[in-house]
């Protein structure tokens, strides 16, 4: 009890500190989170009231199984890791269609939104600040799809669950999981029979028009108890709500996403199965989700770009997974091939005009200063993993594996003049062009060993040893302004190797309560810098891996026959050799990646879910994050560098969510349901230093969603509303430098619609 009161006092103090710092927060929001903390206290004080009648035993909350530790299915409440798991039932209840629809209900998970298929995930304030590889690993089943900062925006169709592992997962998940891992688990083929699921939605967005999407899933046993196929297809049309007043076009950010996947399960024997998976998704937009105001504020959803900037993104994944049961251990062998192509266009005219209105016409000799940048990014991954997970049934268990990955990427940039209609001039007038190529070969040996020291106390040690070889090439296809001939830069080679450890102790206080403590390390591999416009000094030609240590304590508790679940975690992180953007000159136009500075992050996370009656479910989350530099960042351009005490950009110090769900029998065969989802995201800056000339503040915002409907055993119909408060939640971008105007990425305005589902 003393320990609990001490922990509660720490939580209250931390909350008050955050609330005092967040001047943008309204009194009702403060009261909401204080009330949530009060609920936490009340929940933890009610152990003595556990007894309930046996007739109510079926009113407990859903038991969620996870596979995060790669040891097969485990009850979420018994895994000593801070994990949030959204089951298929929970995702469908809130009408989740993509990452954004569930992310705000996960403690300490935020994201930098640059538009469709262009999101950067942030867990516990570990923000990559626009450089290097991702800090959050992303998986589909056991298929690694993490690359650079632009994470694939998967549609949540026929998904069994989503698992978000908070804290570094370097032992089992490797380099891309510096601060955590997101796993999307797809429903596997079901040999038991034929199933089908059909979903159709129609909605309308304010400032836009109609939106339409649908999905079809079919499960079919092809050979009884031997071969089963499960296939899904989906198509999503989203209307645009941003207008280009300069070019006179409306709804320029209309989006069309289509995709599908298929899994073929082949049972090779009583203990062996082979699964072949294929994934495909393509997204096209008429223009980017940005509002640029070169000529001043034109309104929330009006932009004045000089060009049309359509966006295209496509990825394909091919995978084979072999599973064998040795009785004493599971063997899993996975091999996958992923390709991704992104074609990103944006307006370069404001940057060109910053050199003077006549520089590109009178000095360079071009017909106009209006210009468009076209960047094509192609990525190919070949990934193999072999893993053995024991099921000895005794006091000792282990996981051990081998990992190999080859990454090949190309990045082609072309800047060329555009005409008054916003399209590239014909014949082409290049302003600048270059071609980059990167290769990574990475190898790793990993393992974890757990041992029950007593019936209640379990310890674990783990480690991952990795080695990476990298190479970078850079060719100038058209030097800036054409002032010099094309340049071919010699190949730059870099290497990295490291061993990252993990330790934890967990104690099962009662069958329904566990406490744990862990120490773990996360890492990202380094790489090379090639800049042929302004050569770098030798010491800046490459950057090294960065790493962090995470110290964490937490508790997972269930009460009142699982009618109440309350989980908490407290963490402290030391981050060193941070990979950050540095600048080659005072214009801040040309950048490279450097290791600079140190940081610390500490915070608290809380999740509670309650089912006071069979018909009612309530829940909430709260995250408090303090992420700040503890060392000045050395930089060639001091005005853009961060300083000791600066908060990390795009990291809200306070965030949280609440939901309430109610069901009621209308007839013997019909059930009515309703759900309300609310989320709060605190204010955040866009750069480290408030003195940075391109520093902006993203104000705090609230989002509200509602879903009401009827369901039977085979169909469901629901009315839904998203962003009902019509909040102008934004991300603020600086396209290249302080020489370009501010760009804002607003979220979708109020959207109201209907969805229909049929399944058998």
Q: What DSSP string describes 385-416? A: EEEEEE---SSEEEEEEEEEEEEEEEEEEEEE
Please provide the average confidence, as pLDDT, over all residues in the chain.
Answer: 85
As a whole number, mean pLDDT of residues 633-648 equals 78
Residue ranges with strand state E in 418-512: 430-452, 457-478, 488-510
Residue 632 burial (10 A CB sphere; 0-12, 13-18, 19+) = middle
As a whole number, mean pLDDT of residues 304-325 equals 94
* pLDDT of 525: 80
| Angstrom distance (rounded) from CA 144 to CA 337 | 10
pLDDT digits (tens, 9 = 90+) for 125-161: 998 765 667 889 899 998 988 866 677 788 899 999 9
Between residues 15 and 316, which one has the greater pLDDT?
316
Between residues 197 and 542, which one has the greater pLDDT?
197
| Angstrom distance (rounded) from CA 44 to CA 564 | 10
Res. 30: pLDDT tops 70:
no
As a whole number, mean pLDDT of residues 9-26 equals 43
* pLDDT of 35: 40
As a whole number, mean pLDDT of residues 386-391 equals 96
* pLDDT of 475: 87
The distance from CA 598 to its chain's CA centroid, rounded to whole angstroms, is 24
As a whole number, mean pLDDT of residues 620-635 equals 89
Look up the domain containing 378 and give its range.
2-759
User: Within 10 A of 266 (CB to CB), how many other CB atoms are there?
Assistant: 16
* pLDDT of 496: 84
Is 442 in contact with 399 (CB distance < 8 Å)? no
Between 166-175, 286-295, 385-394, 652-661, the lowest mean confidence (pLDDT) is in: 286-295
Residue 130 burial (10 A CB sphere; 0-12, 13-18, 19+) = middle
| Angstrom distance (rounded) from CA 90 to CA 65 | 13
Residue 682 to residues 164, 179, 300, Cα–Cα distance (Å): 21, 20, 20
Count: domains in the chain = 1
Q: Give the tokens for residue 248.
A: 């006179």
As a whole number, mean pLDDT of residues 677-703 equals 89
Is-cis flag, bond preceding 132, omega within 30? no
Between residues 4 and 724, which one has the greater pLDDT?
724
Question: Residue 526's pLDDT band (boundaries 50, 70, 90)?
Answer: confident
* pLDDT of 736: 43
**First CA to last CA across the chain, in angstroms?**
50
Q: What percent of the chain has pLDDT over 90?
A: 59
Res. 97: pLDDT tops 50:
yes
Nearest alpha carbon to residue 462 among 549, 521, 524, 384: 521
Is 276 in contact with 264 (CB distance < 8 Å)? yes
* pLDDT of 347: 87
- Choose the most confident range, by mean pLDDT, from 62-76, 326-340, 567-581, 627-641: 326-340
Non-local CB neighbours of 427 within 8 Å, separated by 6+ positions: none
CA angle 644, 650, 656 (to 5 degrees): 115
Res. 588: pLDDT tops 70:
no
State the angle between helix axes of 27-44 and 2-21 in degrees (0 to 180), rounded to the nearest 10: 170
* pLDDT of 131: 63
* pLDDT of 575: 92
User: Within 10 A of 250 (CB to CB), how many other CB atoms are there?
Assistant: 16
Question: Residue 58's pLDDT band (boundaries 50, 70, 90)?
Answer: low
As a whole number, mean pLDDT of residues 383-394 equals 95
Between 199-203, 298-302, 419-423, 648-652, the lowest mean confidence (pLDDT) is in: 298-302
Place of tokens 């570990």: 126
State the CATH number of the domain containing residue 117: 2.40.170.20
């Amino acid at each position: 009890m003393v320990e609990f009161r001490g922990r509660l006092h720490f939580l209250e103090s931390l909350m008050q500190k955050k609330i005092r710092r967040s001047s943008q927060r309204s009194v009702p929001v403060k009261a909401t989170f204080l009330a949530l903390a009060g609920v936490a206290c009340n929940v933890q004080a009610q152990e003595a009231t556990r007894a309930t009648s046996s007739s109510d035993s079926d009113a407990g909350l859903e038991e969620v199984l996870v596979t995060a530790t790669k040891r097969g299915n485990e009850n979420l409440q018994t895994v000593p890791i801070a994990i949030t798991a959204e089951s298929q039932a929970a995702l469908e209840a809130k009408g989740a269609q993509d990452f954004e629809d569930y992310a705000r209900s996960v403690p300490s998970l935020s994201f930098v939104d640059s538009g469709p298929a262009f999101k950067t995930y942030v867990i516990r304030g570990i923000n990559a600040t626009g450089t290097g590889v991702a800090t959050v690993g992303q998986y589909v089943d056991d298929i690694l799809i993490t690359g650079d900062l632009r994470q694939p925006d998967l549609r949540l169709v026929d998904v069994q669950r989503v698992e978000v592992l908070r804290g570094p997962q370097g032992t089992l998940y490797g380099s891309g999981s510096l601060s955590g891992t997101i796993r999307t688990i797809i429903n596997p083929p079901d040999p038991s029979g034929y199933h089908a699921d059909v979903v159709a939605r129609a909605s309308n967005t304010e400032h836009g028009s109609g939106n339409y999407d649908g999905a079809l899933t079919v499960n079919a046993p092809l050979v009884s108890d031997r071969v089963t196929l499960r296939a899904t297809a989906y198509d999503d049309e989203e209307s645009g709500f941003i207008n280009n007043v300069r070019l006179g076009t409306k709804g320029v950010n209309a989006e069309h996403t289509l995709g599908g996947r298929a899994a073929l399960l082949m049972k090779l024997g009583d203990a062996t199965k082979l699964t072949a998976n294929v994934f495909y998704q393509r997204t096209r937009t008429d223009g980017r989700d940005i509002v640029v105001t070169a000529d001043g504020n034109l309104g929330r959803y009006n932009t004045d770009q000089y060009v049309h900037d359509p966006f295209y993104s496509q990825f394909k994944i091919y995978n084979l997974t072999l599973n064998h049961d040795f009785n004493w251990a599971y063997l899993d062998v996975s091999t996958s091939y992923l390709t991704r192509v992104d074609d990103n266009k944006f307006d370069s005219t404001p940057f060109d005009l910053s050199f003077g209105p006549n520089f590109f016409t009178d000095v360079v000799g071009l017909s106009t200063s209006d210009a468009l940048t076209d960047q094509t990014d192609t990525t190919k991954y070949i990934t193999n993993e072999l893993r053995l997970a024991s099921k000895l049934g005794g006091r000792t268990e282990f996981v051990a594996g081998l990992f190999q990955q080859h990454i090949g990427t190309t990045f082609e940039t072309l800047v060329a003049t555009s005409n008054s209609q916003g399209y590239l001039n014909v014949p082409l007038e290049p302003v600048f062009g270059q071609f980059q190529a990167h290769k990574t070969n990475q190898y790793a040996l990993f393992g974890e060993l757990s041992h029950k020291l007593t019936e209640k106390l379990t310890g674990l040690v783990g480690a991952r040893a990795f080695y990476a070889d990298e190479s970078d090439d850079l060719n100038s296809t058209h030097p800036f302004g054409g002032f010099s001939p094309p340049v071919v830069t010699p190949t730059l080679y870099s290497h990295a190797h490291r061993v990252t450890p993990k330790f934890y102790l967990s104690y099962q206080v009662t069958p329904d309560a566990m406490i744990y403590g862990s120490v773990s390390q996360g890492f990202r591999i380094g790489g090379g810098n090639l800049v042929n416009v302004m050569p770098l000094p030798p010491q800046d030609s490459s950057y090294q891996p960065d790493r962090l240590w995470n110290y964490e304590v937490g508790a997972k508790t269930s009460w009142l026959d699982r009618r109440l679940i309350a989980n908490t975690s407290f963490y402290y992180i030391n981050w060193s050799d941070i990979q950050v953007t540095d600048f080659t000159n005072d214009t801040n136009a040309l950048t490279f990646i450097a290791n600079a500075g140190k940081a610390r992050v500490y915070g608290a996370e809380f999740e509670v879910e309650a089912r006071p009656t069979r018909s009612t479910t309530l829940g909430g989350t709260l995250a408090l994050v303090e992420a700040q530099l503890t060392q000045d960042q050395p930089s060639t351009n001091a005005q853009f560098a961060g300083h000791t005490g600066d908060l990390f950009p795009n990291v809200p110090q306070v965030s949280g969510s609440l939901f309430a769900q109610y069901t009621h029998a209308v007839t013997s065969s019909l059930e009515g349901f309703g759900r309300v989802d609310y989320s709060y995201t605190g204010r955040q800056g866009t750069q480290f230093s408030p003195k940075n000339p391109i520093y902006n503040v993203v104000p705090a915002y609230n989002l509200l969603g509602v879903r009401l409907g009827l369901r039977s055993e085979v169909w469901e119909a629901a009315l839904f509303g998203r962003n009902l408060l019509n909040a102008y939640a934004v991300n603020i971008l600086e396209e290249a430098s302080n020489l370009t105007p501010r760009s804002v990425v607003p979220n979708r305005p109020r959207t109201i619609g209907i969805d229909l589902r049929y399944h058998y």
